[in-house]
Copies of this chain bind each other. A is one copy, B any other.
């Protein structure tokens, strides 16, 4: 019986937000519609749920077309020992929603996640009398707007969250650009991460001394292995003025595979290296 208890108490994935959140949609895409999902208030709590063994995976946003890198996720990947085992892209198409029969002219405040609010900057510029209120999750914003029921509070969220909570759609496509996606990663502990047999993509973090040519020397083994760099971020390390931290994503050509020996060469050219995942 213990096994059954353990089984039912363990979620397949922890995610930041509440049902109807874009992260929940990403988790379902990565782990299937039947996956048992655990809502969390913060991205850090989703990481902690995996580390504590309450969830076998976490599904977290990593970057978006309009909003750029989610710095918090990169920081957590470096401070927690989880591995990336896959990714997916979610099309982010925001709607403005409110209780039934609220006209746009009556809206005085709009609740949403701060990143969603930043993706709709032009809407708020065009409606300077509407206040943008940050809450921790887009789907929770819909519920809060319905609960407020004051005829002047709306929310920005997905069409899916609107349907789930029975809210009316006042405006569609309220984000600044039609092409708005967010990329999500699926994470698990190093021991639980099933080794992907023929990984085509990898994400590594490393440190470099502040020296001419240090970055070129670190990237040469990646180029020599025939891999393309699809994303790179590097910036000073807080409180360590002469050291730099880089996160690099690389991909093998169509049909190719990433060989772990590329990481060995990379390790020799950096002051520290952490392979965050190969999938």
Contacts and interface: CB of A to CB of B under 8 A. Distances in A.
Interface of A: 41-42, 63, 65, 67-69, 71, 114, 117-118, 121, 125, 131-135, 177, 179, 210-217, 219-220, 222-236, 238-239, 244, 246, 253
A231 B238 contact: no
Nearest to A246: B232
B214 A216 contact: no
B234 A232 contact: yes
Contacts of A179: 238-239
A216 B219 contact: yes
Secondary structure of the A contact surface, majority rule:
mixed
A71 B67 contact: yes
Contacts of A215: 219, 223, 229, 232
Contact of A212 (B68, B134, B210, B223): B223
Contact of A232 (B121, B227, B233, B238): B233
B212 A220 contact: no
Contact of A114 (B71, B134, B222): B134
A173 to B, nearest CB: 16
Contact of A68 (B41, B69, B220, B232): B69
A175 to B, nearest CB: 12
Most chain B C-beta atoms within 10 Å of own C-beta, residue among A63, A210, A212: A212
A71 to B, nearest CB: 4
A235 B62 CA distance: 12
7 contacts: A131-B135, A132-B133, A212-B225, A216-B220, A229-B244, A231-B234, A231-B235
A244 to B, nearest CB: 7
